Structure 1
Amino acid sequence: MSFDRIVVVDWSAAGRAVRGGDSLWIAQARGDAVESWNPPTRAEAEAHLRALISAALDAGERVLIGVDFAFGYPAGFAAALTGRAEALAVWEWLAAQVEDDRRNRNNRFEVAARINRALPGLGPLWFHPPGQTWPGLPLKGSERRGHGLAEMRVTDARAKGAQSVWKLGGAGSVGSQVLTGLPVLWRLRAAFAGQVAVWPFEAAQAAPVVVTEVFPSMLRAEIAALSPPRHGKAGRHDWPVRDAVQVRMLALALARLAQEGALGGLFDAADPTAPLAEEGWILGAGAEADLRAAARAVGAAALPPQDTDAPATAPHRLTPPRLRNDCFAMPQGVDWVPVEDALARLRAALVPITDTEDLPTAAAGLRVLATDISARRSNPPQANAAVDGYGFAHAALDGSGPYELPLLQARAAAGQPLKGAVPMGSAVRILTGAILPKGVDSVVLEEDCATDGARVAFDGPVRRGANSRRAGEDVEAGGPALPRGRRLTPADLALLSALGVGRVRVLRPLRVGVLSTGDELLSDPGAQAAPHQIFDANRPMLLEVARRWGHAPVDLGHAPDHAAEIAARLDRGAAEADVILTSGGASAGDEDHVSRLLRERAQLSSWRIALKPGRPLALALWPGDGGQRVPVIGLPGNPVAALVCTLIFGRPALSLLSGAGWLEPQGFQVPAAFSKRKKPGRREFLRARLGADGTAEVFASEGSGRISGLSWAEGLVELPDGAATIAPGDMVRYLPYTSFGLG
């Protein structure tokens, strides 16, 4: 089996950002060359892996990614938890349950307790921080009982030193790494759908990206020869860092086997009698001798470069990728980027925020749910009347009517339930919303009845359960109410309140920084403008767009065309925002300081998108003081182009970052009320609105400087990438502003 790149990942479940020993390490080998990185958080590691995969695919290269935690649990677990005897079903389940924010704070113990409670007995997962209580999650392994699952997988028995996946803490624990790592792999698999195969669950022979489980400790002797044992706390930061050595050595060893055409032997060593679909297999288990021989041949090449000036938290200077370390980078040679390609690449590059908080339901409007919500009670909680009328037992009716029943001298009303039962063959006055009294299962509408106060008469036939609502016919207690990732609407608040959900866990709002640049701009529209000046239209527009989308706008103000001032505003944005929108200065002119700064400090990718209006789009990751890298989306300075780019690219990107998922506008076909001839090569968006007859009218001028057209329009007409000739009456795709979340 042949690969151009080998990537090895040493995972960490640390609850804080950390570098050095016992932290996240990633190594990539290409032939005899190797480079390594030490991202401080899992979010940054995930973004880095996305970038490495994108770079390999862009270059037409095949990549093997080995990750050092279990891909499956002992046989029987997947089916017990998910109903499917497949490890990938567990991946999907965990991806929906595990929360892990950008600072490495996560809910793994809560999820572990939730898993245990779904299984018989007590366990199998164990350990939690002492002093804390997690119902269903024992502190000690000896406290477990009756869960019925094996302690180790078949492959663990073949890999000397492998630990149990059930152990969540303490020396040698891997359980927490599994809980925090599998959701990341699930997202990577989804982001590159159709291009990633997870071995041994999926066929790996032809996939461009193959992800496998590895166990670097198979090379413990070879690693120890290069990385002496640690001595006390100080040794944690001595060079070489053992974790760095092991990922680099394993990557080089696998690359060497790939070059020799011997890597397939490691895949073939998997025991076909083992429950591979449930448990997985460690690559190389059963072929350790071949792997160790390759590691010995690698030798000192696995050592990271020594840098005596590096701080203790960064034991060696991290070598960037050979070509680029830019998750927004386009393939080499790409000039004009089609809109669909740009959207796909933007989607693959971004990672959502995961910081959460609990809020009262009534205060959670427009917030994004961080967890699935189940109903605390049924809706309706009891069977009740759907109309004002008369209730009775349907079994008392014989035939098709007419009927006459004695009437109880009582009534049932909403909030005033009838005490006692209604005798068989009798009826009772009942009002809309009243709980059906015992002995009542059907209701006849008041207008269909005659009564003298002592009796009630009505015609038939009457079906059983007529004009009544059964308990839980809307939502049953314990059933699903709303999914994780949903942005809460007023109707959602009504549903949650009706189901007895008083508090919800939500993601914090996405903080969207907005910065305008340009010497010609004036921030105050009431100021006296000189002939060479114009008022800043983009910033108030973009801040309001962010607010209407449910994000938290952060006004970064207006900066003149001065590099230091722009850099200071971007630094502030990195500290106060999760993403920054800039307008102006993103092209390649003499005064385009935004693009120059992003190129120098943030690995700028300038996308020339085949789009009209709004060709240039600048994307970068601006470094913050805390080590975070904040996405920057550089919009055109022209307000029309800025809004179109924000709607087409900004809305789905910000929605994904906010945790609400990737959004696409809903359009529909309408007749054109205009004529238009379009050349091939660019997708065009025309400012438009619907006339009284339902046809799409477009603004008189296509000039990007005509801001009045944005206000005049109620949506956009989208014309395809190819050539087109539009005549009145031809069908065109109309995208109302409401489909972009703007009313």
Structure 2
Amino acid sequence: MSGFDTVIVVDWSARSAPSPARPTADAIWIGTVRDGAAADTTYLRTRAAAEAWLAETVAAERAAGRRVLAGFDFPFGYPAGFAAAVTGRPDPLALWAALAAEVTDGPDNANNRWDVARRLNRRFPGVGPFWGCPPGEASADLPARGTERRDHGLPERRRTEADLPRAQPCWKLYTTGSVGSQALLGLPVLHRLRERFGADLSVAPFEAGDTGIVLAEVFPSLIADAVAARQDPDEVRDSVQVRVLAEALARLPPDRLAAMLAEGDPEEGWILGRGHEDALRAAAAAIPNLAPPPLRDDCFALPAGVDWTPVDEALGLLRDRLAVVVPVEEVALAGAAGRILGRDVVAMRPNPPEPNTAVDGYGFAAAAGQGAENRLPLVTGRAAAGRPHGGAVPEGHGIRVLTGAALPPGVDTVVLDEDTRADAGVIAFRGPVRPGANTRRAGEDVGEGDVALRAGRRLTPPDLALAAAVGHGTLAVRRTLRVAILSTGDEIVEPGARIAAGQIHDANRPMLAAILERWGFDVLDLGRCPDDRAMLRARFDRAGAEADALLTSGGASAGDEDHVSALLQEAGAMASWRIALKPGRPLALGLWNGVPVFGLPGNPVAALVCTLVFARPALGLLAGEAWHAPQGFEVPAGFEKRKKPGRREYLRARMRDGHAEVFHSEGSGRISGLSWAEGLVELPDGALDVRSGDPVRFIPWGSFGL
């Protein structure tokens, strides 16, 4: 490996406002590789959040004894002569300090870079060297266009950028490729990292790189072809760049990387890997493809001789044959709610991190509180949350402690304020007091190294609290599953549209879209498609290119106009599962360009039941979630029904007066029953005679995630 345990590559941003909540380009992306494994990617919306992430992550890595290389995609130095003109000496690190004193950058990305550029330009004759700004910011001191500059006396580019067509000059502050703004707003952050980590951090090539932390300038476009070769259609390119470059650097031979870090101009700096592009490309080409494997072509094939498929058998087949199809990415803790955890969260520190008091009171060693009446002298000072006492408490003495305070050495028991009397530096209380009373042990909740959260869990707000408490600022989560939906049939028209004889409004698509969004998936709405094989093929092709799964409604049986089934048959990856349930017997399953297709019945009641019973757990597996089995409850029946054997039945139901009542009609065309209901009553496969008061299984909508 590279000689570094952890490699971090940062794609910086000069945005003047927070980046969108949904990951996008031109934001801050960070790729992180540990021990040569696949890179995690982190999306951050502001520079303040990124600075906090970097400081916290690097500190945690060093606390674990790990050596860190951190690369940033903006210039570390300026063309020769600039540093000396600003600071009086050709020292790029002195220039970092000068910029840190000049630049203000708020938590919302609001900053003063235009004013800083004007002040810097005034130090030089003529006009420039900095240029580029919004129209309202242009002035004699800061031209909007580079062609308006003259006679400032500085080179346009550094040596490392010569003959590098993709590299932009560090004087450019605005529009595409504005690395000048990235540097003005990024170098102060690096200066503060230098201040924080001191002698444990060095900057290549300005300082010897034998420290625990090394900062280096990087340029992902050095290996643009290798990045393009590993581009996932659904992955933001900036994310790909940091991921691939971090993995390539981590795979370089240690001596080759050490030589690269030592190269460069002592004033202008150097792009790490400049002149070694072939070695970086070779390292990138050697990166294994760790994306989830595609599903087998026969994943939906039924065993030989199977005709009617019981519900439990169908669910078992889906559970055994489907697997996760979306990769893992690293996100900030604040953006992880609702996402599916991609790796176990292991506690980096115990919770509580140290013994502490659960109440306001007085602390002492347990042996000093075993008498019927106890009097203890108090030591000077107190212990409060975040403000430890700082010394040991002698045997036979007590100390004032406040809730949450770390227990000083010599203290293992606390007595409540209300149970004491204090006067002239002495407390009195009755005993004996239980040893350890009113205290919390270090790690009594979660110990260091324990698994706090298991992969496959959809993260809740309390999960984020636990992850934060055990030391995590980012989490590895699965990329959100993207599910396409499509309604088929000549008779279907858009909701609210004018309707002709023989037509019906599309009830399924809005229902399915709302369900999928409630489940935390991204929805690709492919609209309505008439009974036209070529048009349907085009929609399938789009789903195959842009989605991870496809839900269709209608056309899933074996009739002349059942084109969903016919297309899947043509592709050679079609299974028509005749499932023994009511409502919703036909379920067409197949693959289209490797994407799973769930062909639901066209009837809205049957479509909903099949979606809840089969698509919910299947899509969860594809998304990286643990298998979802809905929680049902035995309740008294508020209805009577005689059921024949052979099929499992789902009745629209709701709870009233402690009993499950069912919709007055079992007709699968009665959509109003779905709105009326609060869940489903599940009746087993065999014959059944339900009488009022008999126990039945009621599954509320909430158990299906609705």
1:636 and 1:419 map into 2 onto residues whose CA distance is 70
Whether the aligned pair in 2 keeps the contact of 1:423 and 1:439 (CA below 8 Å) is: yes
Q: 2:351 aligns to what?
A: 379
Confirm or deny: 8 A CA contact 2:329 2:479 kept in the other structure: yes
Partner of 1:36: none
Determine the structure 2 residue equivalent to 1:369: 341
What SS does the corresponding residue of 1:617 show, helix, strand or coil?
strand
Change (3 A) 1:555 1:414: same
Q: What's the counterpart of residue 501 of structure 1?
A: 472
2:687 matched residue in structure 1: 723
> Paired residue for 1:735?
699
CA distance in 2, matches of 1:595, 1:581: 13
How far the C-alpha of 1:138 sits from its partner, in A, is: 8.5
Task: State which of 513, 533, 555 in structure 2 corresponds to 1:563.
Answer: 533
CA shift, 1:340, in A, is 1.3
Show the counterpart of 2:391: 420
Structure 1: which amino acid aligns with 2:692? P
The yes-or-no answer on 1:327 pairing with 2:299 is yes
Equivalent residues in 2 for 1:641-660 (5 A)? 641-660=606-625
Residue aligned with 1:656, SS: helix
Match of 2:587, SS?
A: strand
Q: Kindly provide the CA deviation profile for residues 692-730 of structure 1, in whole angstroms up to 9, marking residues without a partner as x.
A: 32x222122211122222222222111111100001111
Q: Match for 1:341: what amino acid? A: E
Contact 1:517 1:585 in 2 (8 A): yes
Task: Give TM-score, length-normalised by structure 2.
Answer: 0.58
Which letter does structure 1 place at the counterpart of 2:373?
P
Displacement of 1:573: 0.6
1:488 aligns with 2:446: no
Q: Is 1:687 the counterpart of 2:652 in the alignment? A: yes
Q: Which residue in 2 is equivalent to 1:271?
A: none
Range that drifts further, 352-361 or 604-613: 352-361
How has the CA–CA distance of structure 1 residues 131 and 343 changed in structure 2, closer, same or farther, with 3 Å as cutoff?
A: closer
Counterpart of 1:109 in structure 2 is none
Query: Which of 247, 250, 257 is residue 133 of structure 1 equivalent to?
Result: 250
Does residue 467 of the first structure (1) align with residue 438 of the second (2)? yes
Among residues 576, 579, 584, which one is paired with 2:554 in the alignment?
Answer: 584
The 3-state SS of whatever aligns with 2:250 is coil
Distance 1:668 1:575 in 2: 41
1:305-344 aligned within 5 A = 326-344=298-316
Please say if residues 326 and 481 of structure 2, whose CA atoms lie closer than 8 Å, have aligned partners that are also in contact: no
Matched to 2:603, the amino acid is N
Instruction: Quote the offset at 1:587 in angstroms.
Output: 1.6
Shift of 1:388: 1.8
Structure 1 residues 180 and 502, CA, compared in 2 at 3 Å: closer, same or farther? Answer: closer
The DSSP-based 3-state class of the residue aligned with 1:429 is: strand
Please give the alpha-carbon distance, in whole angstroms, between the structure 2 residues aligned to 1:404 and 1:699.
72
- The correspondence of residues 108-127 of structure 1 with structure 2, limited to 5 A, is none
Shift of 1:685: 0.7
Q: Given that residues 602 and 622 in structure 1 are in contact (C-alpha distance below 8 angstroms), is that contact kept between their aligned partners in structure 2? A: no
Q: Which position in structure 1 is the counterpart of 2:583?
A: 613
Task: Give the match's secondary structure for 2:457.
Answer: coil
Cα separation, 1, equivalents of 2:684 and 2:231: 39
Give the SS at the match of 2:605: helix
Letter in 1 for 2:628: L
State the shift of 1:652 in Å: 1.0
Counterpart code for 1:391: G
Task: Check 1:410–1:616 CA distance in 2 against 1; reply closer, same or farther (3 A cut).
Answer: same
**Structure-2 residue corresponding to 1:348:** 320
> Which residue number corresponds to residue 48 of structure 1?
none
Match of 2:206 in 1: none
Contact 2:486 2:527 in 1 (8 A): yes
Report the secondary structure of 1:574's partner residue. Answer: helix
Which amino acid is 2:404 matched to? G
1:73 is matched with none
User: Is the CA contact 1:102–1:355 (under 8 Å) kept in the aligned structure 2?
Assistant: no
Tell me: CA distance 1:683–1:454, structure 2 relative to 1, closer, same or farther (3 Å). Answer: same
Q: CA deviation at 1:617?
A: 0.2
Q: What does the per-residue CA deviation read over 1:600-619, in whole Å, with 9 as the maximum and x for residues that have no partner?
A: 23532111110001111001
On the 8 A contact 2:370/2:432 being kept in 1, the answer is: no
Q: 1:443 Cα shift?
A: 0.7
The aligned residue for residue 420 of structure 2 is 449
Return the letter of the residue paired with 1:523. Answer: E
How far did 1:513 drift? 0.7
Q: 594, 601, 607: which one pairs with 1:636?
A: 601
Matches within 5 A, 1:154-165: none
Q: Is the 8 A contact 1:407 1:453 kept in 2?
A: no
Structure 2: segments with no counterpart, 5+ residues: 1-229, 234-245, 257-281
Cα distance change of structure 1 residues 699 and 451 upon mapping to structure 2, 3 Å threshold = farther
Displacement of 1:415 in angstroms is 2.0
Q: In structure 2, what residue type is equivalent to 1:684?
A: E
CA distance in 2, matches of 1:414, 1:331: 63
Q: Is the 8 A contact 1:130 1:139 kept in 2?
A: no
Task: Measure how far apart 1:589 and its partner are.
Answer: 2.5
Deviation sequence 1:108-127 (CA, Å, 0-9, x none): xxxxxxxxxxxxxxxxxxxx
Q: Could you tell me whether the CA contact under 8 Å between 1:422 and 1:440 is conserved in 2?
A: yes
Q: Check if 1:677 corresponds to 2:647.
A: no
Given that 2:368 and 2:374 are in contact with CA atoms closer than 8 Å, whether structure 1 keeps it comes out as no
Change (3 A) 1:514 1:386: same
Aligned to 1:394: 366
Alpha carbons of 1:581 and 1:612: their partners in 2 closer, same or farther (altered >3 Å)? same
Matches of 1:604 and 1:721, distance apart in 2: 26
Alignment of 1:264-279 (within 5 A): none
TM-score (norm 1): 0.55
Q: Distance in 1 between matches of 2:455 and 2:255?
A: 29
Q: How large is the Cα RMSD of the aligned pairs?
A: 3.2
Counterpart selection for 2:490 from 492, 515, 519: 519
1:453, distance to aligned residue in structure 2 (A): 6.1
2:523 paired residue number: 553
Residues 728 and 386 of structure 1, relative CA distance in 2, 3 Å threshold: same
* Structure 2 CA distance for aligned equivalents of residues 461 and 539 of structure 1: 69
What amino acid does structure 2 have at the position aligned with 1:597? L
Match of residue 705 from structure 1? 669
Q: What do residues 195-220 of structure 1 show as CA deviations (whole Å, max 9, x unaligned)?
A: xxxxxxxxxxxxxxxxxxxxxxxxxx
Mark the CA change 1:351 to 1:102 in structure 2 (over 3 Å): closer, same or farther: farther
C-alpha deviations, 1:107-166, integer Å up to 9, x for none? Answer: xxxxxxxxxxxxxxxxxxxxxx9964369x9899xxxxxxxxxxxxxxxxxxxxxxxxxx
Q: Does 1:665 align with 2:630?
A: yes
**Structure 1 residue runs of 4 or more that deviate by more than 4 Å after TM superposition:** 101-104, 137-140
CA distance in 2, matches of 1:737, 1:717: 11
Distance 1:639 1:396, change over 3 A: same
Q: Deviations over 1:526-564 (max 9, x none)?
A: x33335332212112111211222222111111122222
Q: Identity of counterpart residues, as a percentage?
A: 59
**What is the Cα deviation at residue 507 of structure 1?**
1.5
Cα-to-partner distance string for 1:325-345 (whole Å, 9 max, x where unaligned): 633122344321111111122
Number of residue pairs aligned between Structure 1 and Structure 2: 439
For the 8 Å contact 1:102–1:353, the answer to whether it is kept is no
Distance in 1 between the 2:654 and 2:393 partners? 60
Decide whether the 8 Å contact of 2:339 with 2:459 is kept in 1.
yes
Letter in structure 1 aligned against 2:474: R
Residue 404 (structure 2) aligned to one of 409, 425, 433 = 433
| Whole-Å separation in 2 of the counterparts to 1:326 and 1:477 | 44
Partner Cα separation in structure 2 for residue 713 and residue 656 of structure 1:
27
Instruction: List gaps (5 residues or longer) in structure 1.
Output: 1-100, 105-128, 141-169, 189-324, 624-628
Q: Does the 8 Å contact 2:654/2:662 carry over to 1?
A: yes
